[in-house]
Structure 1
Amino acid sequence: AATIDFALTVGSQIEVVTVHGATPQLETTSANLGLVVATKQVNDLPLNGRDFTQLLTLTPGVSPVNNSQSGPGQGNYAEPAPGNVAPTIPSVNGSANRSNYFFTDGLSNFGAFHSVYAVPPIIDEIQEFKVVSHADSAEYGSVIGGVVNVVTKSGTNDLHGSLFEYARKGTFDAQQAFTASRPDFKQNEFGGVVGGPVLIPKLYNGKNKTFFFAAYQGFRYSLTQATDIRVPTAAELAGDLSSWGTQIYDPFSTRPDPANPGQFIRDPFPGNQITPDPNMVAWAKFIFPAAGPVLDTNTLANATDSTPTTQHINQFTAKIDQKFGQNDSAWFRYSHDTSVESASLGLPGIPQVVTIPNRNYGGSYVHVFSPSLIVQAQFGRTEVGDNATASFTKSTAALISQIGFSPAFVGNFKAAPGRSFLPGAGIAGFPSVGEVYALHPQVPTANQFSGVVTKTIGNHVINIGGGFISNKFYSPITTDNLTFLAGATGNTDPTDKVNTGDPLASFLLNVPAQADRRNVVTETRPGGVMSEFVQDSWRATPKLTINAGLRYDVTFYPPMGTSKQIGINGGPETGDVDFNNGTYIIQKLPPLCSTRGFAPCLPGTGALPAHVVVSPNDKILHNDWKNFGPHLGFAYKAMDGLVVRGGFGIVYDNWAGVLQTAQNISGLWPDIGQQEAANLNAPTSASPTPTVTAQNPFAIAAGNNFFPAPDPFGQVGFEYDPNLKDPYAEQW
Structure 2
Amino acid sequence: MKRIVFYLVVGIIVFGLAGGHAWAQATAQIAGTVRDQSGAVLPGVEITVTQTDTGATRSALSNETGSYVLSNLPIGPYRLEAALSSFRTFVQTGIVLQVNGAPVVNPVLEVGQVSEQVEVQANASLVETHSTGVGELIDSQRVVELPLNGRQATQLINLAGAAATIPLSNVGQLYSGKNNPDEAPISVAGGGANSALTYVMDGGTHNDPINNLGLPLPFPDALQEFKVETSALPAQYGQHGSGAVNVVTKSGTNDFHGNVFEFVRNGVFNARDFFAPVRDSLKRNQFGGTVGGPIVHNKLFFFGGGQFTIQRSAPVTGTNYIPTPAMLAGDFTKITSPGCNGGRQINLKTPFVNNQISRAQLSQPALKMLTYGYGTAEDDCGTVHFGSLNSFSSQYSVGKMDYRISPQHSVFGRYFGAHSFAPPTYTGTPLSITQPSPNDMVTSAVLGDTYVISSKTINSVRATFNKSSIEKTQVPFFGASDLGIQGITEIIPKYLLVTVSNALYSAAGATYPGYLYTTTYQITDDVSMIRGNHQIQFGGNYIRPIHNIWIYLNTAGAFTFNGQVTGLPMADFLIGTPSSFAQNTISEDRERQRYFGLYIQDSWRMTPRLTMNYGLRWEPYFGTVIPRGWVSHFDQNAFLNNVHSTVYPNAPAGTLYPGDAGYDAGNRPMKPKLNDWAPRISLAWDPQGKGRMTVRASWGMFYDLPSTLFYYGYSNEPPWGQAITYNSPPGGFSNPWQGFPGGNPFPYTFSKHSVFPTQAPYVSVPLNYHPPYLNQWNLSVEKQFGANWLAKASYLGTSTIHFWSPQALNPSVYIPGNCNAGQYGLTAPGPCSTTANSQPRRLLTLLNSSQGPYYNSIVTLDDGGTTSYNGLLLSLQHRLSSHFTVQSNYTWSHCISDLGTTLLAGSYTDPSNRRSDRGSCAGTDLRHIFNLSAVLQGPTFSHQLTRSIAGNWQLAVIGSAHSGIPFSATSGIDTDLNGVGGDRATQILPNPYCEHKTINCWLNGAAFATPVANGIRSSMSPYTLVGPGYFDVDLALTKTIRVGERQRVDFRVEAFNVANRTNFLTNSPNNPSAVSTGQQNGTAFGKLLYDVGPRIMQFAIKYAF
Cα distance change of structure 1 residues 506 and 60 upon mapping to structure 2, 3 Å threshold: closer
Deviation at 1:103, TM superposition (A): 0.5
Cα distance change of structure 1 residues 210 and 673 upon mapping to structure 2, 3 Å threshold: farther
Secondary structure of 2:735's partner?
Answer: coil
Amino acid paired to 1:425: V
Residue 129, structure 1, aligned to residue 212, structure 2: no
Within 5 Å, give how 1:533-572 maps onto structure 2: 533-560=599-626, 562-563=627-628, 572=629
Deviation at 1:622, TM superposition (A): 1.6
Contact 1:29–1:634 (CA under 8 A) maintained in structure 2: no
For residue 942 of structure 2, what is the aligned residue in structure 1? none
Which one of the candidate residues 490, 493, 496 is aligned to 1:420?
493
Q: Give me the whole-angstrom Cα distance separating, in 1, the residues matched to 2:215 and 2:642.
A: 34
- Residue by residue over 1:446-502, the C-alpha shift from the partner in whole angstroms, topping out at 9 and shown as x without a partner, is 2111111222222222111002112223211112211123223x3xxxxxxxxx4x4
For residue 31 of structure 2, what is the aligned residue in structure 1? none
Q: Give me the whole-angstrom Cα distance separating, in 1, the residues matched to 2:452 and 2:403.
A: 14
Secondary structure of 1:111's partner?
Answer: coil
For residue 302 of structure 2, what is the aligned residue in structure 1? 212
Q: Give me the whole-angstrom Cα distance separating, in 1, the residues matched to 2:148 and 2:173.
A: 17
Q: Give me the whole-angstrom Cα distance separating, in 1, the residues matched to 2:127 and 2:758.
A: 61
Amino acid paired to 1:716: P
Residue 663, structure 1, aligned to residue 764, structure 2: no
Contact 1:527–1:558 (CA under 8 A) maintained in structure 2: yes
Deviation at 1:332, TM superposition (A): 1.2
Deviation at 1:696, TM superposition (A): 6.2
Residue 227, structure 1, aligned to residue 293, structure 2: no
Within 5 Å, give how 1:448-463 maps onto structure 2: 448-463=522-537
For residue 4 of structure 1, what is the aligned residue in structure 2? none
Cα distance change of structure 1 residues 429 and 330 upon mapping to structure 2, 3 Å threshold: same
For residue 358 of structure 1, what is the aligned residue in structure 2? 442
Deviation at 1:676, TM superposition (A): 2.2
Residue 291, structure 1, aligned to residue 376, structure 2: yes
Point out the more displaced range, 179-188 or 117-126. Answer: 179-188
- Residue by residue over 1:90-113, the C-alpha shift from the partner in whole angstroms, topping out at 9 and shown as x without a partner, is 323666553111010110010123
Deviation at 1:379, TM superposition (A): 1.1
Contact 1:574–1:671 (CA under 8 A) maintained in structure 2: no
Deviation at 1:581, TM superposition (A): 8.6
Deviation at 1:139, TM superposition (A): 0.7
Contact 1:574–1:586 (CA under 8 A) maintained in structure 2: no
Deviation at 1:385, TM superposition (A): 3.3
Cα distance change of structure 1 residues 227 and 142 upon mapping to structure 2, 3 Å threshold: closer
Contact 1:584–1:612 (CA under 8 A) maintained in structure 2: no
Deviation at 1:229, TM superposition (A): 3.1
Q: Give me the whole-angstrom Cα distance separating, in 1, the residues matched to 2:151 and 2:199.
A: 18
Which one of the candidate residues 51, 54, 77 is aligned to 2:155?
54
For residue 414 of structure 1, what is the aligned residue in structure 2? none
Which one of the candidate residues 619, 630, 654 is aligned to 2:705?
654
Secondary structure of 1:504's partner?
Answer: helix
Point out the more displaced range, 41-50 or 145-154. Answer: 41-50
Deviation at 1:434, TM superposition (A): 3.6
Secondary structure of 1:624's partner?
Answer: coil
Cα distance change of structure 1 residues 728 and 330 upon mapping to structure 2, 3 Å threshold: same
For residue 729 of structure 1, what is the aligned residue in structure 2? 774
Cα distance change of structure 1 residues 120 and 277 upon mapping to structure 2, 3 Å threshold: same
- Residue by residue over 1:230-266, the C-alpha shift from the partner in whole angstroms, topping out at 9 and shown as x without a partner, is 22345544655565536657xxxxxxxxxxxxxxx86
Which one of the candidate residues 18, 25, 34 is aligned to 2:126?
25
Cα distance change of structure 1 residues 462 and 432 upon mapping to structure 2, 3 Å threshold: same
Deviation at 1:587, TM superposition (A): 13
Residue 623, structure 1, aligned to residue 667, structure 2: no
- Residue by residue over 1:67-97, the C-alpha shift from the partner in whole angstroms, topping out at 9 and shown as x without a partner, is 534499988353214xxxx847232366655
Secondary structure of 1:638's partner?
Answer: coil
Higher relative contact order (CA 8 A, sep 6+): 1
Structure 2: any 5+ residue segments left out of the alignment?
1-90, 96-122, 337-345, 778-1105
Within 5 Å, give how 1:204-353 maps onto structure 2: 206-224=296-314, 225-234=316-325, 236-237=327-328, 239=330, 241=332, 243-245=334-336, 271-275=356-360, 276-286=362-372, 288-294=373-379, 300-301=382-383, 303-342=384-423, 344=425, 347=430, 350=433, 352-353=436-437
For residue 576 of structure 1, what is the aligned residue in structure 2? 633
Contact 2:516–2:547 (CA under 8 A) maintained in structure 1: no
Which one of the candidate residues 361, 364, 367 is aligned to 2:451?
367
Point out the more displaced range, 575-584 or 163-172. Answer: 575-584
Structure 1: any 5+ residue segments left out of the alignment?
1-16, 199-205, 250-264, 412-418, 491-499, 564-571, 593-601, 682-688
For residue 744 of structure 2, what is the aligned residue in structure 1? 700
Contact 1:191–1:215 (CA under 8 A) maintained in structure 2: yes
Cα distance change of structure 1 residues 223 and 586 upon mapping to structure 2, 3 Å threshold: farther
Which one of the candidate residues 438, 441, 444 is aligned to 2:513?
438
Q: Normalising to structure 2: TM-score of the pair?
A: 0.52
Please report the RMSD computed on the Cα atoms of aligned residues, expressed in angstroms: 3.7
Cα distance change of structure 1 residues 269 and 277 upon mapping to structure 2, 3 Å threshold: farther
- Residue by residue over 1:655-694, the C-alpha shift from the partner in whole angstroms, topping out at 9 and shown as x without a partner, is 3xx423222222213344222232433xxxxxxx969834
Cα distance change of structure 1 residues 503 and 434 upon mapping to structure 2, 3 Å threshold: same
- Paired residues, what number? 631
Within 5 Å, give how 1:60-99 maps onto structure 2: 60-66=161-167, 68-70=169-171, 76-81=177-182, 87=184, 89-92=186-189, 98-99=195-196
Point out the more displaced range, 614-623 or 346-355. Answer: 346-355
Deviation at 1:716, TM superposition (A): 2.9
Question: Percent identity among equivalent residues?
Answer: 23
Deviation at 1:506, TM superposition (A): 3.0
Contact 1:548–1:631 (CA under 8 A) maintained in structure 2: yes
Secondary structure of 1:661's partner?
Answer: helix
Secondary structure of 2:422's partner?
Answer: strand
Cα distance change of structure 1 residues 160 and 581 upon mapping to structure 2, 3 Å threshold: farther
Q: Normalising to structure 1: TM-score of the pair?
A: 0.77
Q: Give me the whole-angstrom Cα distance separating, in 1, the residues matched to 2:750 and 2:571.
A: 32
Deviation at 1:703, TM superposition (A): 3.9
Cα distance change of structure 1 residues 522 and 588 upon mapping to structure 2, 3 Å threshold: farther
Within 5 Å, give how 1:178-189 maps onto structure 2: 181-189=278-286
Deviation at 1:56, TM superposition (A): 2.3
- Residue by residue over 1:288-346, the C-alpha shift from the partner in whole angstroms, topping out at 9 and shown as x without a partner, is 4231542xx6x531x33123211212111111112222332211111111122346478
Amino acid paired to 1:278: Q
Deviation at 1:24, TM superposition (A): 2.1
For residue 212 of structure 2, what is the aligned residue in structure 1? 115
Residue 163, structure 1, aligned to residue 163, structure 2: no
Amino acid paired to 1:485: N
- Residue by residue over 1:528-580, the C-alpha shift from the partner in whole angstroms, topping out at 9 and shown as x without a partner, is 211000111222332222222110112222233x23xxxxxxxx344233579
Contact 1:160–1:196 (CA under 8 A) maintained in structure 2: yes
Point out the more displaced range, 227-236 or 48-57. Answer: 227-236
For residue 544 of structure 2, what is the aligned residue in structure 1? 470
- Residue by residue over 1:357-400, the C-alpha shift from the partner in whole angstroms, topping out at 9 and shown as x without a partner, is 222212111222222222222111222333222224x6x47x62
Cα distance change of structure 1 residues 674 and 464 upon mapping to structure 2, 3 Å threshold: same
